[in-house]
């Protein structure tokens, strides 16, 4: 593998992926914005969709649009087979033991809320502790705040090193006998930090606690095994991994899920109903009330298949190299602050930064005028922004179709932003 210090014939030779071929699969990447080629660097918010996913959605509505599980006619049986087939695809993708452990949700947020509202209310008692990291997305913070208030429990926050990694020595002391659950992201959507889930799980289980993993940023970008990491819950969203919006997955260990009460009521989560009481369905349908997002769940299988064919190890290798390249290029700019680990092997393809005397919102608008899409703001991590002593950051995030040339275009636009704002902050 070439390093960024080498001079390959093309920068794309540095990637483990055939970027030219991949980009042909994404129609939106041919779009121009104000006459300029679209450079999409907002993948931590949502990814673009390949034609195979788009076509799968269309196929469902054109060929076998019907409700699932309830009909005996051909269309319903075909839709049910495809819908449940996606569940098996997910099981294999994350290395779960059983298909019944795969629960379809609307996204990571709903998955975390499901656990907090069911397992949490059933197991967290007054005086218990809920352990979080300071880098959590609001979706993995606010539900636990609400639960702690309801149950008179306490929130405990892990400590971070200067580079934005969890201090594991301090974690061993903070995760104690009162800990009931550790809820932590596997990959920060701001710092890019990849957290040591297996080690955190061992600390939690040693104290008789469980661990929930926010996999929104990690599952799309790296090979994971829920069995190997020994988590108890993992939640993630399909729209961040080439799939449609409105589809998520909550995985949980079977014995834990079986003991949890339902989250919502009605529809397929019912086995039988009388006037006085109801008997609930088995896993996973106990947690899937009402008509699900059938077409988008079915189309999600195409997203899993696309990434599987590509190979998650190759995806990860490409992102390490493009992140390494981007970090080095960004460091050419004087007055820039980059947040998170310096080593690209310790982070995902997410780079948050600030440029001296330029508000991140102004920076985002200037880049948008150049056809470059980044994110600017607090990224749903306001407590972390307070820790960093900033109001927000600019954030560029990469995926399988991003090129080294696009990093160069980002740098050129940042230099132009310096000129527009009256700075000369680059070498």
Nearest by Cα to 220 from 363, 359, 339, 45:
45
Beta strand segments in 206-285, E? 210-214, 233-237, 248-252, 270-273, 278-280
How far does CA 247 lie from the centroid of its chain? 12
| Domain end (from 309, 339, 367) | 309
Torsion of CA 10, 15, 18, 24, to 10 degrees: -80
DSSP state for residue 195 in the 8-state scheme: P
Residues 6+ apart with CB under 8 A from 382: 138
44 in a domain, yes or no?
no
Pair 109, 237 in one domain: yes
The pLDDT assigned to 6 comes to: 37
Tell me: the pLDDT tens digits for 276-329? 999 999 999 999 999 999 999 999 999 999 999 999 999 999 999 999 999 999
47 in a domain, yes or no?
no
How far does CA 96 lie from the centroid of its chain? 18
5 in a domain, yes or no?
no
Angstrom distance (rounded) from CA 262 to CA 288: 9
- Please name the residue that has the structure tokens 């907002």: 42
Angstrom distance (rounded) from CA 204 to CA 195: 14
- Please name the residue that has the structure tokens 């993630």: 236
- Please name the residue that has the structure tokens 């090193």: 161
Pair 293, 319 in one domain: no
Enumerate the H helices of 25-141 as residue ranges: 51-63, 74-94, 108-115, 121-123
Sign of the alpha-carbon torsion through 253, 255, 260, 264: positive
Query: CATH no. for residue 374?
Result: 3.90.1150.10
Pair 385, 375 in one domain: yes
Helix (H, G, I), strand (E, B) or coil at 90: helix
| Domain end (from 288, 309, 330) | 309
Q: Is 262 left (phi over 0), alpha (psi -120 to 50) or beta?
A: beta
Residues 6+ apart with CB under 8 A from 72: none
426 in a domain, yes or no?
no
337 in a domain, yes or no?
yes
Pair 68, 137 in one domain: yes
Pair 343, 294 in one domain: no
Angstrom distance (rounded) from CA 2 to CA 230: 35
Which parts of the chain register pLDDT below 50?
A: 1-9, 424-427
The pLDDT assigned to 15 comes to: 74
Pair 103, 200 in one domain: yes
Count: domains in the chain: 2
Pair 128, 240 in one domain: yes
Pair 253, 348 in one domain: no
The pLDDT assigned to 12 comes to: 56
Pair 121, 208 in one domain: yes
Pair 241, 356 in one domain: no
Active site residues: 380
181 in a domain, yes or no?
yes
- Please name the residue that has the structure tokens 């880098």: 135
pTM: 0.94
Nearest by Cα to 398 from 306, 319, 307:
319
User: Cα(first)–Cα(last) distance of the chain, in Å?
Assistant: 28
CB 373 within 8 Å of CB 394: no
Pair 231, 161 in one domain: yes
| Domain end (from 309, 326, 351) | 309
Sign of the alpha-carbon torsion through 347, 250, 213, 93: negative
Which residues are bridge partners to 353 per DSSP? 338, 394
Query: CATH no. for residue 71?
Result: 3.40.640.10
Pair 278, 384 in one domain: no
CB 255 within 8 Å of CB 265: no
Tell me the residue range of the domain where 111 lies. 53-309
218 in a domain, yes or no?
yes
Main-chain phi, psi angles of 354, to 5 degrees: -135, 145
* Cis status of the peptide bond prior to 123, with omega within 30 of 0: no
1 in a domain, yes or no?
no
Residues 6+ apart with CB under 8 A from 37: 371
Angstrom distance (rounded) from CA 318 to CA 321: 5
């Amino acid at each position: 593998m070439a390093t960024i210090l080498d001079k390959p014939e093309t920068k794309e030779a540095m990637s483990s992926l055939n970027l030219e071929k991949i980009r042909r699969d994404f129609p939106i990447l041919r779009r121009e914005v104000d006459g300029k080629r679209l450079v999409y660097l907002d993948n931590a918010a949502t990814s673009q969709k390949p034609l195979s996913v788009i076509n799968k959605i269309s196929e469902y509505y054109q060929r076998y649009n019907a409700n699932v599980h309830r009909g005996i006619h051909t269309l319903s049986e075909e839709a049910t087979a495809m819908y449940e087939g996606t569940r098996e695809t997910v099981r294999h993708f994350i290395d779960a033991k059983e298909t019944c452990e795969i629960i379809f949700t609307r996204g990571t947020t709903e998955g975390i809320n499901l656990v907090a509202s069911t397992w949490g209310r059933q197991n967290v008692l007054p005086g218990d502790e809920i352990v979080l990291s300071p880098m959590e997305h609001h979706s993995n913070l606010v539900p636990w705040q609400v639960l702690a208030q309801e149950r008179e429990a306490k929130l405990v926050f892990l400590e971070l090193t200067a580079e934005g990694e969890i201090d594991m020595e301090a974690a061993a002391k903070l995760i104690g006998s009162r800990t009931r659950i550790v809820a932590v992201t596997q990959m920060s959507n701001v710092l890019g930090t990849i957290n040591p889930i297996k080690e955190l799980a061992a600390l939690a289980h040693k104290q008789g606690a469980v661990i929930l993993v926010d996999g929104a940023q990690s599952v799309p970008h790296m090979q994971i095994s829920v069995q190997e990491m020994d988590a108890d819950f993992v939640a993630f969203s399909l729209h961040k991994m080439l799939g449609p919006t409105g589809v998520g997955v909550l995985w949980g260990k079977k014995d834990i899920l079986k003991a949890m009460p339902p989250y919502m009521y009605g529809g397929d989560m019912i086995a039988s109903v009388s006037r006085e009481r109801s008997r609930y369905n088995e896993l996973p349908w106990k947690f899937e009330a009402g008509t699900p997002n059938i077409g988008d769940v079915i189309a999600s299988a195409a997203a899993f298949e696309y990434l599987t064919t590509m190979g998650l190890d190759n995806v990860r290798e490409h992102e390490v190299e493009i992140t390494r390249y981007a970090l080095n290029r960004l460091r050419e700019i004087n007055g820039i602050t980059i947040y998170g680990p310096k080593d690209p092997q310790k982070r995902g393809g997410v780079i948050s930064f600030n440029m001296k005397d330029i508000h991140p919102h102004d920076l985002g608008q200037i880049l948008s005028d150049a056809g470059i899409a980044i994110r600017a703001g607090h990224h749903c991590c306001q407590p972390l922004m307070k820790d960093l002593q900033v109001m927000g950051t600019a954030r560029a995030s990469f995926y399988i179709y991003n090129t080294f040339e696009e990093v160069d275009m980002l740098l050129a636009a940042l230099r132009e932003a310096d000129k527009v704002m009256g700075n000369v902050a680059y070498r």
